[in-house]
Amino acid sequence: MVKKTMEKGFKLILGSQSMARKRILAEMGYDFTIVTADIDEKAIRKDKPEDLVVAVAEAKANEIISKLGGESQFAQDHHHQPTLLITADTVVVYKGVIREKPTSKEEAREFIKGYSGSHGGVVGSVIVRNLQTGVRRGGWEKAEVYFHEIPEQVIDDLIDDAITFKVAGGLMLEHPLISPFIDSVMGGVDTVMGLPKELTQKFINDVL
């Protein structure tokens, strides 16, 4: 089977190492290469989570473009397929406070205990940029995750797992330890996992 990207006549770069984002984009039927951004996400501060996730995704895109030698390289390349760059960012919002990746075991415990019998919001951004034309589209989606009570032992086991420290709010829905304690998700599960599918597809269409 020929993947969509070849049929559609463009190349796709995913600016993320996230397993979940890779999986979502592959599920959408796309072939892509991965280029990661080395930015200090904590240096980017915004009061509103929606502004923060868009600003971080924008910073990732800029860093990747400069790593690839600047947009002008792609702009001159009219004979070839356009290259689209997708970047994204996700934060968890708990009781109005933005949560990024936990930085210590204590913080991770506090995060996960807070979700127990409660709920947390997820705000996820996506930016798609056509590197040949410079056209970009960006936006964000929200979802809310409701939890059953999470037992202490499960919390201990989650804190012992390194993956907990690689995800916003220490929250990974598909984690086998946490998934039994999810009551419901209002909004897109793909948004919670790190890449809102519909928005991504819309922006891909928009920038071509």
Catalytic residue IDs: 89
Instruction: Classify the C-alpha dihedral 168-171-173-177 as positive or negative.
Output: positive
Q: What is the residue whose two structure tokens read 């410079």?
A: 134
Find the Cα–Cα–Cα–Cα dihedral 36, 193, 198, 59, rounded to 10°. Answer: -30
By C-alpha distance, which of 168, 107, 161, 164 is closest to 143?
A: 168
Q: Distance between CA 49 and CA 74 in Å, rounded?
A: 32
CB atoms within 10 A of CB 129: 28
Q: Are 121 and 82 in contact (CB under 8 A)?
A: no
- Structure-block tokens of residue 110: 């506090």
Q: What is the residue whose two structure tokens read 């923060």?
A: 52
Q: Distance between CA 109 and CA 140 in Å, rounded?
A: 28
